[in-house]
Structure 1
Amino acid sequence: MPVPRVRSDSTTGASVNGHINRISGSARLTGVTVQAGEVQGGIHMYQPMPDVPVPRQLLPAPPHFTDREGDLAALRELSARRTGPLVVTGAAGVGKTSLVTRWLRASDADFPDGQFYADLRGHTLEDAASPSEVLGRFLRALYPGPVPADLAEQAALWRSLTSGLRLVVMLDNVCTAAQARPLLPGSEHSLVVVTSRRRMTGLRIDGAVFHSLDVLPPHAAEELLIRGIGRDRVEGDPAAARRVVSLCAGLPLAVCVASARLAARPRQSLSAMADALARPGDRLAVLTVDGETAVRGALDESYDGLPAPAARLYRRLGHLPLPELDGRIAASAGGHTLHEADELLNVLVEANLLQDPGPDSYRFHDLIRLHARQRGTADEADDTVRRVADWYLATATEAERLITPAQFTLDRDHVHQPYLPTPFVDETSALSWLDRHRVNLMTMLRTAEDRRWHSLVWQLADAMWPLFLKLRYYDLWIEAHERGLAAARLAGHAAAERQMLNSGAIGLSAARRIDEAIVWYGASREAARLADDRRDEGQALLGIGAAHYEAGRLTESVPYLDRAITTWHETGYSRGTGLARIVLGEIALAAGDPPLAVRHFDRAHATLAAVPDPHDTARALAFLGRARAAAGEHESGTAQLLSALGTFEHSGSVHWQARTLEMLGQVAQDIDRTDAARDYYLRSLALCTLISVEDVGRLRERLDSLPAG
């Protein structure tokens, strides 16, 4: 280290490099002083190193800390196997600093040579502390000599001084890997813990290990509230306490702010706080302490650090009512290409403003979504929601055309013409896409209804037809068509009204709400007559006949089906006649007349195969196989059933897979192949468990009827 140096050439009686203070006529020497009678040659003087206290800079342990045992255990495990920094990431206000401080405070003895802490202010690049600023503080706390001005020299000196030491260094609120890298000490025995609102993936090259901190579960958030305002107050109104915790959405900062407000107002009821938080426009404003918008301010800092395109997408995504997002949704929301959307989503994930729970899956924390929405404008909201709704409509319509090509599809109205590539290539992947997005599709339908986009409502309901037909989500099926019917009437679209009545009635009948289905079909028939639409009239007649069959009224059913066939023969709609003959075959089979059933199913199969209509052709084939087996042709009947089953498995039609397996079980049971029957019934039961309580009950009865074996 540089030392005070004294040089003299043949000095007599000299006092070198010292100071003389004269007090009351006497002299007192201070500083480094040499007094000699005679000095020959050079003299070198060294000042002794002063004592430097061991740094103990960690923050105090948080007074209100609850749960997080799993996170603390994870940090201990990661610390044991790390080769570089330990990085704790999470959204603003999630409790990163409190967690790390609590953990490190419990490990004081492991770091006897010093504990360093620095807040790097990394919420935005503009306000972030420079590595040189922090290194200067660290070096001065460890070393009394002059600190170099150059960052590279500072970092080198820091590594030299810390070599072999057992230190802990907590770098709080880091913005980038480059900000943290010069602060890494030069000892493998030291621990560096980084906290950041960003993902800090750049530190992977430094051997970093990562832990992502999520929000508190409800019980832990409630305990945090108790610690802030007292158990008696919470137990005095537990329902309101749970509402407060729920509206804070598990964000520790929000719970702590709500606690502080309640503690400062001992007469305020928890229900009053809950009511204030429940007003969406005011929730972030309510979460203030001493006039400071604590939660909003923390989120503002993260938002202000975003590049402009990412900030724009953040605002737009905040306006979407969807619980789950993906790259295509983001691209349609912002008018981006898929590549551009992926890049911007990565920025938002890195900033911990979006979570990515799975591949191409993103979601907001509730309060962050509210913040994003409040940063946007009403015009931005309308444009974003309509863009995404139009994309969903176009994509679902493409799936409909691929899965049910014979199904009549009405024209679509798009305000924004979609431009993204279709996310599926065949019938199976199209149905899988519809199933995966069914919650979002229904959410967009309800949102369109709220915004009075009437045409969009019934068109979305219509486009979801293959989802309802093949996977039998009865509750969604009926809801979509109830809303779609109301929207078609408000839009004054008569053809859409009849489409909603017919498709909705099929859902009501499938859900065993038979009498309601007949009312819908009756309304559809009357509307078709008024419009002189013979094809739609035949559809209503088929529906009424099928509903009577489902209710067990076989004799009432047949006349409606015969009239439907006659009507469709007159209009040249051969597919309709095939559908009606399937129901006539079912009636004959139920009446104990397998030969007649075979004739109906055989004609239906030939008609539908010629359309072509692969799904209904397979339905006719399955029934034909069952009827042949019932007529004594067990081998050929089983073969036809297995062929139909393969079609349904390929298309992903779970309901008809289950129905076909059940029929195979019946055929096996008829010829005393008990083990095979049991296997078919069990496979059918496993599928029915997902879609139909009634079918589950019937299959359990069939299993119980089998001999024990």
Structure 2
Amino acid sequence: MPGPRRGVEGTAMRSTGLSAALSLTAAQLSLHPQQPLPALVQAPARPALARLTHHHSGAIMTPPLDASYAGLERETASTIRALSRLPVHDFDAGLVAAVRRINPEDAAGHLTALTAAGLLESPGFQELRGALYRFASPELSEQILELAHIAEADDDEVHNVLGWALGWALSAATAADALVTPSHHRTLGINPADLHHPPQHPVHHADADSALGWLTVQSENLLALVRAAPLHGLDTYAWRLVYSMWPWWRAANRTDEWIELHALALTRVGHDPSAGELAERHLLGTYGLGLRMNEDPIALHTFTRLREMASQAGDALGEAQALCELGATHLQRGDATEALPFLNRARAIRAEQGYERGVALADILLGQAALRLGPAETSEALRRFGDARAALAGVDAHDAARALAWLGRAQLQAGDFPAGESALHAAVREFLDERSPRQAARCLEWLGNAAEDSGRISEARAHYAQALTHYQAVNGADADRVRDRLARLA
């Protein structure tokens, strides 16, 4: 048996994936190689362990758990109890530092010690998070609380632990929002320092790519924290975290969670006196976007309500936004004629208010309506998309790419294949630069359509294959559609 620390760590790593009892026994053997195995297995259980054996049928060998927990230093024991209170799927040193109010180096030491004791396991390492940890078995979090004689819910403790986790998560999410989608962040200007649980060691994102990457690798934990927040009176964090995750919502396109958690945020924002009506309206608008992406007819009712709220608040630009969303929803439903009055009114309001970017965004939608109205309106569509591209270039890279993509599609529809394909290839590059893989995939799918229609089957397959690669990461329905196209061309 190697030296004590090396033996503990080595045995803990080799026992990853075993049952909790076996992992804990292995760790205890490493800690106490001189102790006979029967002594570990047959050691008398304390009252807490008797309860564990009674309530947890899978806890066959509870004495090793007792020994592992009893052997922890006080601060490390406090850490495992705090982790037992969290709803997250895994842990890293940054999160532990936040909930324990210690520095990340000490947090990493606690995680190492808990892994060596067989209570945690390390499934791997992520560049943006460092070493990852999780409980060695699903039931361990409840068993830890039993051992600590605090199995009954301590609302104050849960509130504080969860509050520090949410404060840390919100700080990182708002910083990511500011880097990736600065105009969205400025809309509400959420500042985590104004709340009760600002982190001592906040996450620092190197750039926009790292920021979106962090949201992506932490997404399951963030969703779990949002769901848990209202259960413990932390409404102020629930809606703010949903709002600040906008770059991830836009990139991941997970509409079921989008709708679920924006609905939750809308129910909680009303319980937060510091929120204000503007926050509710923005959440309602984003909720409507999720409904529209899911082709849910409730989207029309949602945007109608949004328009009413903006009108009552005397917010002309807010009303214009709702009108645009109503027009876009009618377009998605295939009714360009119904969409036009909403879009024209939205454009007029924005022009009156001097909102040039908003005028350009309305032009993108008006161009789409023109395309749907048939060949006679193609020249109108080309003009709208061209004007929007010129207005957005250098102002909003993502929406400038949208204008270019639609311009390319209109050029293809007008029969100008070289110009249309060139524009779509450029749009693909711009969307990828803006971390919008689904939009890039849609452009590649359009390129595949154009190649297939003109008999260039090999080229069509190549475009569809590239589109499929991007779609697979963000949207199963889109991926299935392109996969079917590829199968037909085989």
Per the normalisation by structure 2, the TM-score is 0.84
State the match for 1:148 in structure 2.
none
Aligned match of 2:237:
456
Aligned match of 2:408? 625
Contact 2:24 2:118 in 1 (8 A): no
Q: CA deviation at 1:295?
A: 5.9
2:270 equivalent among 485, 489, 496: 489
CA distance in 2: counterparts of 1:344 and 1:85, whole angstroms: 14
1:398 Cα offset (Å)? 1.2
Match of 2:258 in 1: 477
Partner of 2:346: 564
Partner deviation per Cα, 1:508-548 (whole Å, 9 max, x = no partner): 111111x2111111111111112112221111111100000
**Using the alignment, how far apart are the partners of 2:316 and 2:9 within structure 1?**
72
- Equivalent residue, structure 2, for 1:39: none
Mapping 1:244-255, distance limit 5 Å: none
Query: How far did 1:581 drift?
Result: 1.5
Equivalent pair of 2:24/2:64 in contact (CA under 8 Å): no
- The aligned residue for residue 329 of structure 1 is 95
- Which residues of 2 match residues 107-506 of structure 1 at below 5 A? 173-175=29-31, 285=51, 287-288=53-54, 297-359=63-125, 360-364=131-135, 365-374=137-146, 375=148, 378-407=155-184, 408-412=186-190, 413-491=194-272, 493-506=276-289
CA distance in 2, matches of 1:671, 1:288: 71
Select 1:657's aligned residue among 408, 426, 440.
440
CA offset at residue 680 of structure 1? 0.6
3-state DSSP class of the match of 1:362? strand
Structure 1 residue 462: Cα displacement: 0.6
Give how far 1:701 is off: 5.8
CA shift in 2, pair 1:423/1:194, >3 Å: farther
Q: 2:463 aligns with which of 639, 664, 680?
A: 680
CA contact (8 A) 1:86 1:194 kept: no
2-side partners of 1:540 and 1:676: how far apart? 40
Deviation at 1:595, TM superposition (A): 2.2
Deviation at 1:631, TM superposition (A): 2.4
- Cα deviation for residue 430 of structure 1 reads 1.9
Select which of 390, 393, 414 maps to 1:609: 393
Contact (CA 8 Å) 1:455, 1:488: kept in 2 or not? yes
Residues 222-263 of structure 1, C-alpha deviations (whole Å, 9 max, x = no match): xxxxxxxxxxxxxxxxxxxxxxxxxxxxxx99xxx9xxxxxx
**1:529–1:296: structure 2 CA closer, same or farther, 3 Å change rule?**
farther
1:581 to 344, 356, 363: 363
Deviations 1:621-656 (Å, cap 9, x if unpaired)? 111222223323322322222222112223332211
Give 2:411's aligned amino acid.
R
The yes-or-no answer on 1:591 pairing with 2:386 is no
> The residue matched to 2:362 in structure 1 has which SS?
helix
Task: Give the secondary-structure state (helix, strand or coil) at the position aligned to 2:89.
Answer: coil
Evaluate the alpha carbon distance shift between residue 390 and residue 629 of structure 1 in structure 2; reply closer, same or farther with a 3 A threshold.
same
8 Å contact from structure 2 (residues 52, 62) kept in 1:
no
Equivalent position SS for 1:434: helix
Q: Distance in 1 between matches of 2:24 and 2:94?
A: 35
1:645 — aligned with what? 428
- Do the aligned residues in 1 keep the contact of 2:21 with 2:65 (CA within 8 Å)? no
3-state DSSP of counterpart to 1:459: helix
Per-residue displacement from partner, 1:145-166 (whole Å, max 9, x unpaired)? xxxxxxxxxxxxxxxxxxxxxx
Once the two structures are superposed, residues 591-644 of structure 1 have per-residue CA deviations (whole angstroms, 9 ceiling, x without a partner) of 33332222111222222224x222112111111222223323322322222222
In 2, Cα distance between equivalents of 1:86 and 1:427: 36
* Between structures 1 and 2, the one with greater helix share: 2
Task: Name the SS for the 2:123 alignment partner.
Answer: strand
RMSD: 3.3
CA distance in 1, matches of 2:484, 2:30: 63
Query: What is the match of residue 247 of structure 1?
Result: none
How has the CA–CA distance of structure 1 residues 489 and 382 changed in structure 2, closer, same or farther, with 3 Å as cutoff? Answer: closer
- Deviation of the 1:421 alpha carbon: 4.6
Contact 1:88 1:194 in 2 (8 A): no
- Percent of aligned pairs with the same amino acid: 32
Following superposition, the deviation at residue 285 of structure 1 comes to 1.9
Q: Secondary structure at the match of 1:565?
A: helix
Q: Secondary structure at 1:95's aligned position in 2? A: helix
CA contact (8 A) 1:538 1:568 kept: yes
CA distance in 2, matches of 1:439, 1:545: 33
Counterpart amino acid of residue 425 in structure 1: A
The one-letter code sitting in structure 2 at the alignment partner of 1:583 is: L
Could you tell me whether the CA contact under 8 Å between 2:98 and 2:199 is conserved in 1?
A: yes
Q: Which is higher, the Rg of structure 1 or of structure 2? A: 1
Partner SS state of residue 406, structure 1: helix
Question: Using a 3 Å threshold, how does the CA distance of structure 1 residues 588 and 284 change in structure 2: closer, same or farther?
Answer: farther
| Partner SS, residue 355 of structure 1 | strand
CA contact (8 A) 1:582 1:620 kept: yes
After TM superposition, give the deviation of residue 435 of structure 1 in Å.
1.7
Tell me how far apart the structure 2 counterparts of residues 704 and 86 of structure 1 sit (CA, whole Å). Answer: 50
Distance in 2 separating the partners of 1:680 and 1:196: 65
| Richer in strand (by share) | 1
Alpha-carbon contact 1:659-1:684 (below 8 Å) kept:
yes
Change in Cα spacing, 1:625 to 1:357, as seen in structure 2 (3 Å) is same
Amino acid at match of 1:491: D
Using the TM superposition, give the Cα deviation of residue 472 of structure 1 relative to its aligned residue in structure 2, in angstroms.
0.5
Paired with 2:65 and 2:140, the residues of 1 have a C-alpha distance of: 7
Higher RCO (Cα < 8 Å, 6 or more apart): 2
C-alpha contact (below 8 Å) 2:163/2:234 kept by paired residues: no
Distance in 2 separating the partners of 1:426 and 1:195: 55
Aligned partner letter, 1:396: A
Give 3-state SS (helix, strand or coil) of 1:366's partner. Answer: coil
Q: Against the structure 1 CA distance between its residues 402 and 194, is the aligned structure 2 distance closer, same or farther, given a 3 Å change threshold?
A: farther
Please state whether the residue corresponding to 1:424 is helix, strand or coil: coil
Pairwise CA distance, 1:302? 1.1
- Where does structure 1 lack aligned partners over 5 or more consecutive residues? 1-83, 101-121, 124-172, 184-192, 198-251, 258-281
Task: Number of aligned residue pairs: give it.
Answer: 454
Mapped to 1, the partners of 2:349 and 2:409 lie a distance apart of: 29
2:318 paired with 1:552: no
**Does residue 524 of the first structure (1) align with residue 306 of the second (2)?**
yes
1:60-79 alignment, distance < 5 Å: none
